[in-house]
Amino acid sequence: MSEQKNLEKQFKMELASRELTVKTGKLAGQANGSCLVQYGETVVLATAVIGQTPREEIDYFPLLVDYEERLYAAGKIKGSRFIKREGRPSDEAILTARLIDRSIRPLFKETERKDVQVMITVLSVDQENDPDFTSLIAASVALAISPIPWQGPIGAVRAGLVNNEWVLNPTYEAREKSEVDLLVAGTADEVVMIEASAKEISEQKFNEAVEYSLKHLKKVVEFIKEIQAAVGLKKTTESEMELTTEEQAKQELIQKKVEDFCQGKLENIFKLNKLEQWQTLEKLKEDLNTLLKEDNEVSKEARAFGLSLLEKKIEALARDLVLNKNIRVDGRQLDQLRQIWCEVGILPRTHGSALFNRGETQVLSIITLGSPGDEQQLDGMEEVGKKRFMHHYNFPGFSVGEVAPVRSPGRREIGHGALAEKALTPILPTKEEFPYTIRVVSEVLSSNGSSSQASACASSLALMDAGVPIKKAVAGIAMGLYLDPDDQKNYRILTDIQGIEDHAGDMDFKIAGTRDGITAVQLDIKLGGIGLPIIRDTISQAKDARNKILDFMDEVIKSPRPDLSPHAPRIISLRISPDKIREVIGPGGKVINEIIAACSVQIDIEDDGLVMITGTNAENSQKAKEWVEKLTHEVQIGEIYEGKVAQIVKDRNSGVEIGAIVDILPGQDGMVHISQLKNEHVNKVSDVVNVGDNLKVKVTGIDHERGRIELSHKVFEPGYDEQASRPNSFRGSGNGQRPQGGGHRGLPFFKRRNK
């Protein structure tokens, strides 16, 4: 135990007035690299492990990143009565895992074939410091100090803009007030990953945010390098087999055969559509494989090498076209959009729908409006509360011409859906303006590049088609990059990349926003990093593209429809005094359930007294509203009601009838004194009215301290003289007897009943 303790090392730095602490050598000793990272009182454990042997017959680097939320980190127990342990990762956990993956993957060599797993386990959260930042740092440290071949380290920081001042690593509370929430990962000089949401921030401000982040990020990178120098293990070489002279000669022979095979076969491949390209490439692979099989000395592994050379040759051809001829694979100019067309109102029964096409990418977005009670309940490690806007994204196999089983949403679907949701959130109306719960589903029907940004466009159109009063339209675009490996200053930025440009290019930079600013950004690269000049040029070029897309969208629908779909529910809102909420709910919910059952509506009440009534029948909704208004109405002197006699009041001592209790509103009643029944003398109340009779009355007095309402019926009698009459129930019983106690002794003029 003492030996283990001696291995423990601790490193500290101050970042944004908080201490960032890294501990190594104590936990998870059998992992290739591990560390415990604490920021504030948020603590995560990161481990990195590499497989023993390379995986055969795969043509990709097998990296797995897992982000494990633990509810104990927030002092919570799972809400389910039957299952108490953590289950499927939450959307937030999946998004964080993707974020870490996108940050560390570019610094691995694509030719690595040993499995690498990076796992982050969240042990403590303080509800101030987001564990995604801490987890990125931890992943970088674990990889940096391990023997795993990785070209890091990277650092990460978050930037916010509060009251026009930049804030480093803002807390959750500060992020709520910020104009932008930007998370940047990178090396000391270059950006590797960006994730951002913003409230229509300008391009200039966004560039400032990235520059500000990169300046502070350098300090984090230097800190991790110090840790690596102190406790890091020597890096192993990449898991490539050393070639013998004979094997090298065979590879050169295969290269020559591939070169000869490709002559005259690749020139026109880019003129085909995506499906035709794929079919042509598969046919070329099949023919090349057959050719290589004819040589009995060519092994299976060598044939796989030859097939990979074919793909690399196609990628190199695409890069050469762009860098040396300024022509893209489909003949477009570098800043030219693919053909765009769109429609709205596609589906007859949904609450709103739109179809957006850009090249071979096609997305259908559908809107569903629900009551406030349909909001999603959030009860995770970090998130609590409710969510009224949801965007979900589906990517079936047929959209790329493949056979694929239908499964629950994968990481890609969740990530793309969240990105479009982030882009649309800033332009939504407030709950007070539009109390509906809004769900958008984007169905990708065909994909050839940037379906997530097409989803943002389609969803913006669908929201307007549904009559949701969004502030502005949103459009998104994916930008690409080809960089000359021999000259870093020689690069070309591509607008509206399609599949092959994403696959063979160096960058996928998604930018969404309105005409007035950026609302969401996501950057993925395949290089070791990109500098600020490339980011600035991309942001500027994307703005021009975004405005052109919005021009196309404006031609179809420029503003939200004035009315909701006839099939959408209607919500009537009213505000009552919070003190009156209990009157609407009633004991055990009796009153509110009676309204819901009688009017076929749904009723949601906020703590501040906002009442929202949702129904499909306008007449029933109005009936429910009037019911609530009557329950909560503050009775005023001079108001007139048509009430029902609930009780004949008798003097407790003499038994003489002295008045009638009349229900004037649900739960509220008042008393008509016998003197207020008719202009002439009345001997008995029952001579004029009986229990169950309807009686028209006017409010003539209110005793707020005692909660008494005085009513009069005789004001409606012919010949009534308001000046001569004195409608005051304190006058007496009308038969010469004055009730004791200034009224009908101990009996209030009205009482509340929960019907």
Give the pLDDT band of residue 4 (cuts 50, 70, 90): low
Domain count, the chain: 5
Q: Do 678 and 610 share a structural domain?
A: no
User: Strand 437-446 and strand 389-394: pairing?
Assistant: parallel
CA distance 28 to 34: 6
Q: Do 477 and 576 share a structural domain?
A: no
Q: Do 496 and 466 share a structural domain?
A: yes
State residue 357's pLDDT score.
Answer: 97
Range of weakest confidence among 214-218, 299-303, 714-718: 299-303
Residue 728 clears pLDDT 60, i.e. is over it: no
Q: Do 283 and 171 share a structural domain?
A: no
Nearest to 14 by CA among 130, 168, 153: 168
Residue 258 clears pLDDT 70, i.e. is over it: yes
167-188: average pLDDT:
95
Q: What is the pLDDT of residues 31-52, one digit of tens each?
A: 999 999 999 999 999 999 999 9
Domain assignment present for 321: yes
Give the pLDDT band of residue 182 (cuts 50, 70, 90): very high
Q: What is the pLDDT of residues 209-224, one digit of tens each?
A: 999 999 999 999 999 9
CB neighbours of 586 closer than 8 A, spacing ≥ 6? Answer: 592, 593, 594, 754
The domain boundary, picked from 291, 325, 359, lies at 325
Q: Do 627 and 645 share a structural domain?
A: no
Give the pLDDT band of residue 6 (cuts 50, 70, 90): low
State residue 1's pLDDT score.
Answer: 45
Q: Do 535 and 400 share a structural domain?
A: yes
Q: What's the pTM?
A: 0.83
Q: What is the pLDDT of residues 446-494, one digit of tens each?
A: 999 889 999 999 999 999 999 999 999 999 999 999 998 888 889 999 9
CB neighbours of 283 closer than 8 A, spacing ≥ 6? Answer: none
Q: Do 164 and 76 share a structural domain?
A: yes
State residue 736's pLDDT score.
Answer: 39
3-state secondary structure of 426: helix
Q: Do 608 and 479 share a structural domain?
A: no
Q: Do 581 and 625 share a structural domain?
A: yes
CATH number of the domain at 654, please.
2.40.50.140
**37 is written with which tokens?**
């990272």
Q: Do 588 and 697 share a structural domain?
A: no
Range of weakest confidence among 96-100, 472-476, 628-632, 732-736: 732-736
Give the pLDDT band of residue 749 (cuts 50, 70, 90): very low
Q: What is the pLDDT of residues 557-579, one digit of tens each?
A: 999 999 999 999 999 988 898 98
Domain assignment present for 753: no
Give the pLDDT band of residue 740 (cuts 50, 70, 90): very low
Domain assignment present for 747: no
Domain assignment present for 739: no
Domain assignment present for 419: yes
Domain assignment present for 736: no
Residue 737 clears pLDDT 70, i.e. is over it: no
CATH number of the domain at 13, please.
3.30.230.70
**254 is written with which tokens?**
């295969």
From residue 536, alpha-carbon distances to 150, 184, 495 in Å are: 28, 15, 14
Q: Do 578 and 552 share a structural domain?
A: no
681-709: average pLDDT:
88
Q: Do 53 and 200 share a structural domain?
A: yes
Range with top average pLDDT, 71-85, 380-394, 533-547, 702-716: 533-547
The domain boundary, picked from 179, 201, 231, lies at 231
Q: Tell me the residue range of the domain where 92 lies.
A: 2-231
Give the pLDDT band of residue 754 (cuts 50, 70, 90): very low
Apex 154 CA angle, 148 and 159, nearest 5: 150
CATH number of the domain at 610, please.
3.30.1370.10
State residue 727's pLDDT score.
Answer: 45
Residue 243 clears pLDDT 70, i.e. is over it: no
Domain assignment present for 600: yes
State residue 116's pLDDT score.
Answer: 96
User: Strand 191-201 and strand 340-344: pairing?
Assistant: unpaired
Supply the Cα-derived Rg of the chain in whole angstroms. 36
The domain boundary, picked from 231, 260, 293, lies at 231
Domain assignment present for 147: yes
Mean pLDDT of the chain: 88
